[in-house]
Structure 1
């Protein structure tokens, strides 16, 4: 069965997480991903600890089913080769700071001149315009500037850092995938490519849609850890259990809250569910109740109750959960060497009935596909040998 992106060729200049995860999603649905790496070490993500067999375990999580070529874009021969590849490709993904590709003479305008249909997706921290255009940043910085970090944490405590890279993935990776797919649709209608300007700050701000609506409606700034969806209400809260683990309760709807209260013999709380003046008292009392059983005992206790109650799982527990297994969301890359640990990867979260993605557990060695890609682009074997000597590839 053909995959939806078969025939789409992507030159991937990105590294670490946002761009490589984006192109991995495209690869799972049939796109041919050609990683363009520096001959001197390649994608820096290959060296992030911990290492297994000399490769970063994190590299494996975002680089399956790709091809790798080495190319020094600072050398004229490297630029010429890259331009030759652009003429036969559909998409370029760039994760450098704005201006880097312009200095190399490989920016969108230059590539557009040789391939008007090229789709150029630039994933940056702050975007291609604005006063912070050239500033450095990481996930924490984008979330902090977006206002997300200020809202994250316990009531009257410090702002807390997220346990996952929200800006990188939700703000960068996913919006880059959407932009590329939209640009491919546009090109199918017009024949023209375009520049996709994806800023991780922009994407992070977009995640605040509901929060901004709440602020606009109430006329006051949200208070960290003290609003309905951030821990200030008993019906939407995390509670510690007897075994020092946790359960999460998301009983916002009245029917869920009523059933929860009835089960723990606190019917008097049903009518005051959303009374802001009663929350601290209810939370304090329910915390005491929750300490009477272990986490898993509470899960069993509420097993037949449809009230939005779930255990707070550690990573190893999540990986073995029946729902996760049923959705094929965890894949283990095993080694023939018993001394080498399994590498845990995510499956594809996009489930299509007619053309489902394919997770192929192949991972490119640095420059593994040089000969295949460059010969197909018109290079001779003699030229490739010369490029190797000059360290162009």
Structure 2
């Protein structure tokens, strides 16, 4: 199987999480992704713990199925190599601050002149325009400025630092993939590429979805625990007798009735979405252990599920049935367990080829594909143009 994106070739200049997660999805779907990495300035993701056999597990996952070409972009010869590559590539993905690629001579206008079909994607914290365009930031900052943190938390403790990087992944990565694939479709009709400006803050702002719609149209300001879905109703997490947690999402009357009936308290369903129901449910949950509650709701279709640790989630029969863990070749004959691509195509996806590789692992291979001689490659290495 070659995958639905086997016809696409991607030059990936990104580091850390947002860009690499986007290009991981592309690579998993069959795209030929070539990372352009600095031979001297390491992607910090490579040293992020924990490590498996000396390799960052995060890096090994986020960069699987990708090749690596190490180039010192401060040297003219390296820039010429990039320009030669661009002639044969569909997409450039970069994550520098605004203006960096232009100063290198690798901005959209410069590369479009070489390949008019090129689709150029820039992922940044705040976008290419506006007073914050040159400002540094991280996931927590983007969610804060986008308004998301103002109603994601508790009244007595404030906003919650999320364990999942929502702005980076749901904001930057996924929107970038959606946008660039839309540009690919448009190019099929027009024959020309285009530039895509992806701001993680912009995309996080759009994730306000229902609360944002309510505020803009009706002036209803969301705040901690004042809405149905953010703790302002019985839709919430409940502590068990032994200190574990259960999730309750029984919003519809039929589910609410089954929830209350499971506790032997069918009369509670008459309380609707009220906080009074929430208080009553807290008492019922705290009467029982986590195991008792899992058994109680195992056969009840009431939108009640246990809060699992990651180790428990990996072993859950639903996730196992969906084959969400994949064994990916390391390159030495062994494999590493990784999160699998969650997309299910009727024609399937190609098997994972390898985990993330060392910096410049494919430099010689890529240069040879460009027609560079073995002697010239050696000279470029000697000059530290190539790593």
TM-score bucket (shorter structure): over 0.9
Q: Does 1:328 align with 2:328?
A: no
Q: Deviations over 1:112-134 (max 9, x none)?
A: 01111111111111111111111
Q: CA deviation at 1:252?
A: 0.4
SS at match of 2:247: strand
Q: CA deviation at 1:388?
A: 0.5
What are the residue-to-residue correspondences of 1:125-274 with 2, within 5 Å? 125-216=125-216, 219-234=219-234, 236-274=235-273
SS at match of 1:186: helix
Q: Distance in 2 between matches of 1:247 and 1:357?
A: 37
What are the residue-to-residue correspondences of 1:96-115 with 2, within 5 Å? 96-115=96-115
Q: CA deviation at 1:216?
A: 4.2
Compared CA separation, residues 336 and 22, structure 1 to 2 (3 A): closer
Compared CA separation, residues 217 and 87, structure 1 to 2 (3 A): closer
Task: Work out whether residues 28 and 360 of structure 1, in 8 Å CA contact, stay in contact via their aligned partners in 2.
Answer: no
Q: Deviations over 1:141-170 (max 9, x none)?
A: 100000111111123321111111000000
Task: Work out whether residues 156 and 224 of structure 1, in 8 Å CA contact, stay in contact via their aligned partners in 2.
Answer: no
Compared CA separation, residues 272 and 231, structure 1 to 2 (3 A): same
Pairing partner for 1:319 from 314, 317, 327: 314
SS at match of 1:36: strand
Task: Work out whether residues 329 and 353 of structure 2, in 8 Å CA contact, stay in contact via their aligned partners in 1.
Answer: no
Task: Work out whether residues 351 and 357 of structure 1, in 8 Å CA contact, stay in contact via their aligned partners in 2.
Answer: no
Q: Distance in 1 between matches of 2:210 and 2:190?
A: 35
Q: CA deviation at 1:334?
A: 8.6
Q: Distance in 1 between matches of 2:122 and 2:351?
A: 26
Unaligned 5+ segments in structure 2 are none
Q: Distance in 2 between matches of 1:301 and 1:52?
A: 39
Aligned pairs, how many? 385
Task: Work out whether residues 271 and 277 of structure 2, in 8 Å CA contact, stay in contact via their aligned partners in 1.
Answer: no
TM-score, normalization by structure 1: 0.93
Task: Work out whether residues 117 and 193 of structure 1, in 8 Å CA contact, stay in contact via their aligned partners in 2.
Answer: yes
Q: Distance in 2 between matches of 1:284 and 1:240?
A: 12
Compared CA separation, residues 146 and 343, structure 1 to 2 (3 A): farther
Task: Work out whether residues 328 and 355 of structure 2, in 8 Å CA contact, stay in contact via their aligned partners in 1.
Answer: no
Q: CA RMSD in A?
A: 2.0
Q: Distance in 2 between matches of 1:138 and 1:102?
A: 23
What are the residue-to-residue correspondences of 1:28-107 with 2, within 5 Å? 28-107=28-107
Q: Deviations over 1:70-122 (max 9, x none)?
A: 10111111111111111111111101011100111110000001111111111
